[in-house]
Amino acid sequence: MKKIIILSIGLILAACTFQTKHRGYVFPDDLESRVAKIKTTAQLQSEIGDPLARTVYGDEIWIYYGMDENYRGPLPHTYDNKTVLLATVRGNNVTKINVLHDADLPTIEMDDDETEIPAAIELNAIQELFNNIGRFSPAGMGQ
């Protein structure tokens, strides 16, 4: 009996993956000291790389984002080590750099509800089935 329990616990633990994936940029540990010396966009691109996004309106801001996504078996994904680098750019000069970490970022919770689409037609499975009859041409008919 002990062998079965130990074997089942071993199988359950083997099914749980403990994995971390990096998303976006993997920033160096000394990010603040590195970006303190940056004065031009060429230096920024050579040190950090091209931005993930750039703003369209107002001052041009280059946005860099990185985080770790943690997989822990059947548990929900968690995200940590979130870092956002915002570089305000004017021409070829970097005028200001902000580095935001986990504690600086607001906590945003997603709502489980779905947004209704105005004038959307809600069909059940049977209605969907009959709605699709005659909509597709047989294979090889060339239509």
pLDDT computed for residue 11 by the predictor: 67
pLDDT computed for residue 106 by the predictor: 81
pLDDT computed for residue 58 by the predictor: 80
Beta bridge partners of 80: 68
Beta bridge partners of 78: 70
pLDDT computed for residue 137 by the predictor: 65
pLDDT computed for residue 6 by the predictor: 83
Per DSSP, which regions of the chain are E strands? Answer: 18-24, 53-54, 60-72, 78-90, 93-100
pLDDT computed for residue 140 by the predictor: 59
pLDDT computed for residue 114 by the predictor: 77
CB 71 within 8 A of CB 20: yes
pLDDT computed for residue 130 by the predictor: 80
Q: Taking the domains of the chain in order of start, what are their residue ranges?
A: 20-107
Q: pTM, whole model, 2 decimals? A: 0.61
What is the residue-level pLDDT of the chain in tens, covering all 143 positions?
A: 888 888 777 766 666 667 888 888 888 888 888 888 889 889 888 888 888 888 888 889 999 998 888 887 777 778 888 888 888 888 888 889 888 888 888 887 877 787 777 777 788 888 887 877 777 666 655 55
pLDDT computed for residue 129 by the predictor: 79
pLDDT computed for residue 131 by the predictor: 77
Beta bridge partners of 100: 84
